[in-house]
């Protein structure tokens, strides 16, 4: 009979957060949708549940129950990347892997015939769990016969469970508590008041009254529980990425000869990418050193390209910045990250623009190649009660056309320091007559303020009294008095 397995990494975003902050494991921890008092809790650990903190609560309400709560946002891109990486790990154990849509951390695996390779399916499940444990993840592996039954049992089992007969699997699934299956809270509570507490009780309900009373999602779950909706395994079929490699007969120590070897690998690699109707978005340059082991550099062009010469120039800039190799290279590998290739759109205007956006993007790509990906960034706004928390630096992928909103009068620009600079103390509270920048800039002649920013009680109390202080030399300083610290700070200048 066809065998299927469900691998469940419970609360995967929470596990990713705890991997990022290993020192939080002894505290109540939650994943929030936004780092602000009104943010909602999405996942919580057992210590948080012991403090009566549950998903769906507001961050501020949870802090009132447990002041030691640790919480942070786990970006969707990080979750998607982890799901993709876990899927690649699971391909080492079976050719059929299907990640669950909308449930990060749940995978269905084709287990048919693998007992002949590993001796038993229990042994196969143990190998999967051990591999995930080495990567720092908790998991449950249930091997059975049906998609929904293995999923339901994986939500309540621990370790590895193998069912040898469909009747045994079905009987165990009927005993699964209904709240463990992710029902909407309103439907879960309403069914609980009716005495429907297990999956078997739920499956016994007539299907006709489910959707009008509890909604379409509950009806879908009911159809899965009764077998009316049976979906076959739909594994993803990964295509190996374009890759080229070469091993040196004698370890290479010269950068120029290394570049010559890379130059020979690039044209066939680009031809492979072009044959897939794709373009190169990035090149991962892997160097295997004789003593130091493996090292990987990521090279990104300004835009997806099929020009080997442009890619070689970026690789040359990255390697020439090193000047001398730290160790002899025994093997070099080029791995292409690709995107679908598209034709360049026709120009909207016949005249040539005074600014060449493509040339600017190529220049930025050279800067990234020589100084690293974090050397070209842009400021993005976000919600934050403190000025320094109201923006963050994001990597700039490529320049885009400006979209001005129309003519506007000139405006002053406030330049903020990364870290506020401490200023000399003064006897009086008001900064009037004060010389915060020394004699060469003169005393403060005019002050506007204070503008009070207070809050942060959910982390650390903040009370700042901001002023705009004009000096005798004409400088307009943005200063504040930190009341808890009883100190003045220079936070920026207005130009």
Residues 304-337 pLDDT 10s: 888 888 898 988 888 887 767 888 889 999 999 8
- To 10 degrees, what angle do helices 308-322 and 255-275 make? 150
pLDDT bracket for residue 233 (50, 70, 90): confident
Q: What is the DSSP string of 224-236?
A: HHHTSS-------
**Residue 159 or 414, more confident:** 159
What is the distance between the alpha carbons of residues 242 and 341, in angstroms, rounded to a whole number? 15
Averaged pLDDT for residues 19-34: 91
Cross-strand bridge partners of residue 288: 294, 331
| Residue percentage of the chain with pLDDT more than 70 | 89
Q: What is the mean pLDDT of the chain?
A: 83
200 exposed, middle or buried (CB, 10 Å; 0-12, 13-18, 19+)? middle
**Of the candidates 146, 137, 133, 195, the residue with the CA atom closest to the CA atom of residue 172:** 146
| Position 6 pLDDT exceeds 90 | yes
Q: Contact, 285 vs 354, CB < 8 A?
A: no
What is the distance between the alpha carbons of residues 373 and 375, in angstroms, rounded to a whole number? 6
What is the distance between the alpha carbons of residues 481 and 495, in angstroms, rounded to a whole number? 21
**Of the candidates 439, 433, 437, the residue with the CA atom closest to the CA atom of residue 422:** 437
What is the distance between the alpha carbons of residues 493 and 441, in angstroms, rounded to a whole number? 13
Q: Is the pTM of this model over 0.75?
A: no
Cross-strand bridge partners of residue 471: 444
| Position 352 pLDDT exceeds 50 | no
Q: Which two tokens stand for residue 140?
A: 């449950």
Question: In Å, how far are 2, 111, 224 from 227, measured between CA atoms?
Answer: 16, 20, 5
Q: Which two tokens stand for residue 18?
A: 């705890």
pLDDT tens digits along 83-108:
988 988 999 899 899 998 888 999 99
| Length of the chain, in residues | 495
376 exposed, middle or buried (CB, 10 Å; 0-12, 13-18, 19+)? middle
Q: Contact, 376 vs 363, CB < 8 A?
A: no
pLDDT at 459 (0 to 100): 63
Q: From the CA atom positions of the chain, what is the Rg in Å? A: 30
What is the distance between the alpha carbons of residues 388 and 491, in angstroms, rounded to a whole number? 9
What is the distance between the alpha carbons of residues 444 and 436, in angstroms, rounded to a whole number? 8
Q: Contact, 394 vs 378, CB < 8 A?
A: yes
Question: In Å, how far are 73, 83, 139, 332 from 78, measured between CA atoms?
Answer: 10, 9, 19, 28
Number of Cβ within 10 Å of residue 175's Cβ equals 12
Q: Which two tokens stand for residue 457?
A: 């009680």
Q: Contact, 282 vs 298, CB < 8 A?
A: yes
What is the distance between the alpha carbons of residues 379 and 382, in angstroms, rounded to a whole number? 10
What the chain holds in terms of domains, given with CATH numbers, is 4-162 (3.40.1170.60), 240-380 (3.30.1490.100), 414-494 (no CATH)
pLDDT tens digits along 333-348:
999 988 777 654 223 3
Cα atoms in the 13 Å half-sphere on the side-chain side of 75: 3
What is the distance between the alpha carbons of residues 300 and 453, in angstroms, rounded to a whole number? 41
What is the distance between the alpha carbons of residues 230 and 227, in angstroms, rounded to a whole number? 6
Ranges of H-type helices in 240-392 = 255-275, 308-322, 357-371
What is the distance between the alpha carbons of residues 66 and 26, in angstroms, rounded to a whole number? 13
pLDDT at 4 (0 to 100): 92
Q: Contact, 474 vs 445, CB < 8 A?
A: no
pLDDT at 483 (0 to 100): 81
Q: Which residues of 140-151 are buried (b: 16+ CB within 10 A; e: fewer)?
A: bbbbbbbbbbbb
Q: Contact, 436 vs 490, CB < 8 A?
A: yes
Name the one residue in this structure whose structure tokens are 């939080």.
Answer: 24
């Amino acid at each position: 009979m066809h065998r299927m397995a469900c691998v469940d990494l419970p609360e995967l975003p929470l596990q990713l957060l705890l991997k990022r902050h290993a020192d939080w494991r002894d505290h109540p921890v939650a994943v929030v949708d936004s780092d602000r008092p009104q943010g909602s809790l999405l996942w919580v650990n057992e210590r948080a549940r012991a403090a009566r903190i549950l998903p769906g609560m507001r961050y501020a309400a949870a802090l009132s129950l447990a002041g030691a709560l640790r919480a942070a946002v786990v970006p969707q891109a990080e979750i998607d990347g982890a799901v993709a990486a876990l899927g690649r790990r699971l391909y080492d154990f079976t050719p059929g892997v299907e990640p669950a849509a909308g449930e990060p951390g749940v995978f269905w695996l084709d287990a048919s015939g693998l007992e002949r390779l590993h001796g038993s399916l229990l042994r196969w499940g143990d190998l999967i769990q051990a591999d995930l444990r080495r990567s720092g993840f908790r998991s449950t592996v249930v091997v059975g016969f049906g998609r929904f039954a293995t999923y339901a049992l994986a939500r309540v089992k621990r370790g590895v469970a193998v069912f040898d007969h469909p009747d045994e699997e079905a009987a165990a699934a009927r005993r699964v508590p209904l709240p463990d299956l992710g029902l909407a809270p309103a439907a879960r509570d309403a069914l609980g008041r009716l005495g429907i507490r297990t999956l078997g009780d739920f499956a016994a309900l007539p299907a006709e009254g489910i959707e009008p009373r509890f909604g379409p999602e509950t009806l879908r779950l009911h159809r899965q529980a009764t077998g009316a909706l049976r979906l076959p395994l739909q594994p993803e079929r990964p295509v190996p990425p374009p890759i080229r490699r070469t091993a040196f007969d004698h370890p290479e120590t010269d950068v120029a000869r290394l570049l010559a070897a890379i130059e020979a690998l690039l044209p066939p690699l680009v031809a492979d990418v072009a044959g897939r109707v794709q373009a190169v978005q990035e090149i991962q340059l892997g160097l295997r050193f004789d003593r130091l082991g493996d090292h990987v550099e990521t090279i990104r062009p300004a835009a997806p390209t099929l020009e080997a010469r442009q890619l070689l120039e970026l690789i040359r800039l990255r390697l020439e910045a090193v000047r001398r190799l730290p160790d002899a290279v025994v093997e070099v590998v080029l791995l292409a990250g690709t995107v679908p290739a598209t034709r360049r759109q026709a120009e909207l205007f016949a005249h040539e623009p005074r600014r060449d956006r493509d040339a600017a993007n190529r220049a930025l790509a050279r800067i990234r190649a020589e100084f690293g990906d974090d050397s070209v960034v842009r400021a993005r706004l976000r919600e934050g009660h403190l000025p320094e928390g109201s923006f963050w630096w994001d990597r700039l992928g490529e320049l885009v056309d400006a979209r001005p909103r129309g003519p506007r009068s000139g405006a002053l620009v406030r330049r903020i320091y990364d870290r506020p600079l401490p200023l000399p103390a003064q006897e009086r509270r008001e900064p009037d007559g004060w010389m915060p920048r020394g004699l060469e800039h003169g005393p403060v002649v005019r002050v506007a303020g204070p503008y009070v920013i207070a809050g942060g009680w959910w982390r650390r109390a903040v009370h700042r009294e901001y002023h705009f202080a004009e000096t005798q030399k004409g400088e307009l300083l943005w200063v504040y008095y930190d009341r808890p610290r009883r100190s003045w700070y220079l936070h920026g200048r207005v130009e």
